[in-house]
Chain A
Amino acid sequence: MSSRSRLASCALLVAGCWLLVLPVSARPPGQRATSNQQVLRVCSDPNNLPFSNEREEGFENRIAQLLARDLGATKVTYYWFAQRRGFVRNTLNANKCDVIMGVPSSFEMALTTRPYYRSGYVFVTRRDRKIDIDSLDDPRLRKLKIGVQMIGDDYASSPPAHALASRGMTSNVVGYSVYGDYSKPNPPRNVVDAVAKKEVDLSAVWGPTAGYFAKQSSVPLVVKPFTPEIDLPFLPFVFDISMAVRRGDTALRDKLDRIIEKREKEIAAILRAYGVPRMDGEDGL
């Protein structure tokens, strides 16, 4: 990735100045005015593919390059911070960076752009097991060992974990922390690897994580969306994903909105390359 992105950055030197694109007056209060700030500053997790890593190998890194080009920035710089509790406070709201590349569209801690993709939780199974389940209400689930992602913040688990519990399934459910062991690469992949390693029969995993690591797996894995898309009253398994800027930074948000609209095809191609299951009719499964 690095040589190609370096080439791309060089090509961008001829593009316009970031400061011209975002005048000083449009900067949110408190943001430091620096000269030569012809960069797009992205808040990003250094160790979480397929989204991002510090070698800039994630799809969010790729899309950030796309944004920078259209914004007229000469390059993308990153403020690296593990995406955990306090992420927004320590990155975006600390003025260390200006854009978070992925949050749910209804996220309240920042100003979100229009969605640029919709994905959902999916079932991951081994192809050789031929487990053909596509519903949370399939009675066969009760006989399987199921892996889910554990969150632990906000009194919450991942939506499938809640859904299984409300259907009476807890003793056949195994939790894999989304934090994992941060000293290892891409800790959230553990819930996908568990299927390949036969620790569990099936995992319910957030689409982008599932799609990417299923593609990487040496054991053939199957990724399958499930029904329903929502448990009432409000437990969705499908989420629109947006970019986020600081509250009040409507100038940048409006620019990003226009780029997302204009570059829909390029963004879709990047997401496809990373195996992101789309639930919005764009390369959907």
Chain B
Amino acid sequence: MHCDKRTFLTALLLTIPLLACDMPGMHEQKSEDLSAPATGKAQIPAFAATAEDGQWLTPQKDYANTRYSGLQQINLSNVDQLKVMTTFSTGLVNGHEAPPLVVGDTMYLVTPFPNILYALNLREPGGATKWVYRPDPDPAAQGVACCDVVNRGVTYANGKIVMNTLDNHTIAVDAATGEELWNTKLGDVNKGETMTMAPLVVKDKVLVGNSGGELGVRGWLTALDLNTGKVAWRAYSTGPDADCLIGPNFKPFYPMDQGKELGVKSWPPDGWKTGGGTVWGWISYDPETNLVFYGTGNPGPWNPEQRPGDNKWTVTLFARDADTGEARWAYQLGPHDLYDYDGINESILLDLNIGGRMRKTLVRPERNGYVYVMDRLTGEVLSATPFAHINSTAGVDLKTGRLREVKTKEPKVGKVVRDICPAAPGAKDWQPSAFSPRTGLVYITHQNLCMDFEGVEANYIAGTPFVGANVKMYAGPGGHRGEVTAWDPVARRPRWKIREKFPVWSGALATAGDLVFYGTMDGWAKAIDARTGNERWKFKVGSGIIAPPMTYRGPDGKQYVAFVAGVGGWAGAVVTGDLDPRDATAALGFANAMADLKHATTRGGMLYVFSL
């Protein structure tokens, strides 16, 4: 990628020592609030800390995005007794990123394209199929999806299962019968648009976003009426304030995000029209303030030198009024992104004791490698601390809010830049973290990858030759490609780390049994001690795991843990796409880091349900 000849901070950047900063806090400035030592454990806000009912209604588990279950029948003392109770094959071989839901006595599972929705009766031994809903999406959608034809899950509300299809339909299905209640088309595959994210329902609104930033898709978050499917509002990520639903109540914390029409002015003329900033990750919601929080994807399709400016509001965290979509604040995590560090990761809403004062925060393990702790009322960054090896940036200036770039790591076509960390998928991609109020720790499943921009390679798209960057990714320091980090957001340091051979693309589940569950790309379902990280159980499933595990209480009163196997996604493309591992630059350079995955696992979607 390229960078324009920006003037800001250039001199400053050149003077920053280019140290590898995998020591937490190395490049961090403390704000006033952090001057006193932090005390106490992080807590789940009262609105999300409700009594455990044993269900799992949305992939994030709750509005705070904790992925925490209060069930504790399966715990440290007995987890080694876990065994398979039932399995279910989807018959599909693309990447399975969606966790199942459990509502009452029914489990719901959505597949990657063609996005088949299964309802399984948990009262029947083995879980018989209750109904199947087939949306039959347009096959052309497969050709425009950037990184496998994944789907990240469905959500339940008010008797309905709400889902997105790869060809841009949001659909509500009767949870009892499988009957389609409404079906709204929101985008166009002919323009490169797809939908892969999991919807979130807030009150009577379904919130969904689009994918396709690489193809020049203009990102948006759209709210639909839960009862009718009618579009209530749409907030674009780029362009005029009116399109971005930015009005008089928009009060960003930092001057860099303040001003009128920044979604136009921070681009070359008309650049915002194809500017990216798609919304393909996680949404959280704070009922106390009625704010929804979500981040936007990378700018596109220009590479950086052709889009001088901050390119707002790409790689930006938004707080919006859930009823109207009106923006309340925004914080640009990555002004003028150089590395494809999308800002779509989950915001975990937590209350933290900072400097003796309880703060309503959101905690974001960001793709750029920092855990951001932010005031969720104002958008102030309270701290940004590396949780992984970073050398592409040198911390966040807490006075200005600005990410400090490292000039020597700036990629440019025709130039060789080695050892850029993290690589394009970031220190952590979409895979959602979990939080346990019992330990106060955030469990981050992530990557340890760096990349080289090596010279040039002739490529060809739509009959047009061009010179592309020859990107190669490889393991970061230590030689392992994945990590599980138990992060203390109050002390701002890792409590422990687990090294995994492959990127941990599954996300995590935390339970009141003091266990954390995750899966590996070579097909191990694992349970670890939430306090120590010690491995307590593992089981080899049929294919690599890239879907977040979940847990529920069955109609028989027993606790179950569900994993969906089915390797793929961007990281697993070398297996699902049967890529030639000799093509180091395949899958945008990810194949180089994953060549041996082909020997470690094979394709195939399968649900595994475990119990004691």
Contacts and interface: CB of A to CB of B under 8 A. Distances in A.
Interface of A: 45, 48, 51, 81-86, 89-90, 93-94, 102-109, 149-159, 161-162, 165-166, 168, 170-171, 173-175, 177-179, 181-184, 187-188, 206, 208-209, 231, 233-236, 239, 241, 247
A173 B303 contact: no
Contacts of B215: 152, 177, 179
A254 B5 CA distance: 47
B457 interface: yes
18 contacts: A82-B140, A84-B144, A104-B458, A108-B585, A152-B302, A155-B469, A156-B467, A157-B303, A162-B303, A170-B4, A170-B306, A171-B269, A175-B301, A179-B215, A182-B140, A183-B190, A206-B464, A236-B467
Contact of A152 (B301, B457, B577, B578): B301
Contact of A174 (B269, B467, B588): B269
9 closest A-B pairs by CB: A152-B301, A154-B468, A104-B458, A183-B190, A182-B190, A178-B462, A165-B305, A239-B465, A156-B468
B10 interface: no
Contacts of A161: 302, 306
Contacts of B114: none
A157 B302 contact: yes
Given A103-B460, A233-B415, 20 more contacts: A83-B461, A83-B462, A83-B463, A85-B146, A86-B577, A89-B578, A106-B458, A107-B458, A150-B216, A152-B214, A152-B215, A154-B459, A155-B303, A155-B469, A156-B413, A181-B188, A206-B463, A231-B414, A234-B467, A239-B458
A106 B270 CA distance: 34
Contacts of B2: 155, 162, 165
B462 A188 contact: yes
B452 to A, nearest CB: 13
B460 A179 contact: no
B276 to A, nearest CB: 9
A153 B463 contact: no
B241 to A, nearest CB: 21
A45 B462 CA distance: 8
Given A150-B301, A155-B1, A174-B270, A104 B465 contact: yes
Contact of A150 (B143, B302, B455, B586): B302
A83 B460 CA distance: 8
A108 B457 CA distance: 8
A162 B586 CA distance: 23
Contacts of B243: none
Contacts of A247: 580
Given A104-B458, A106-B458, A234-B455, A173 B268 contact: yes
Most chain A Cβ neighbours within 10 Å, of B270, B340, B453, B580: B580
Contacts of A105: 458
B456 A179 contact: no
Interface string B1-43: 1101100000000000000000000000000000000000000
A177 B274 contact: yes
Nearest to B468: A154
A166 to B, nearest CB: 7
Nearest to B584: A108
Contacts of B308: 170-171
B466 interface: yes
Interface string B282-319: 00000000000000000011110111100000000000
Contacts of A166: 305
Chain B interface size, as a band, is 35 or more
B231 interface: no
A234 B583 CA distance: 21
B139 to A, nearest CB: 11
A161 B301 CA distance: 12
B465 to A, nearest CB: 4
A183 B192 CA distance: 11
Given A104-B458, A107-B459, A149 B464 contact: yes
Contacts of B460: 83, 102-104, 107
Given A154-B469, A156-B413, A159-B466, A81 B143 contact: yes
Most chain A Cβ neighbours within 10 Å, of B4, B214, B469: B214
B190 A181 contact: yes
Contacts of A154: 457, 459, 466, 468-469, 471, 585, 588
Contact of B471 (A152, A155, A162, A170): A155
A150 B456 CA distance: 17
B463 A89 contact: no
A235 B301 contact: no
Contacts of B586: 89, 109
Contacts of B191: 179, 181-182
A155 B413 contact: yes
Contacts of B146: 85
B144 A151 contact: no
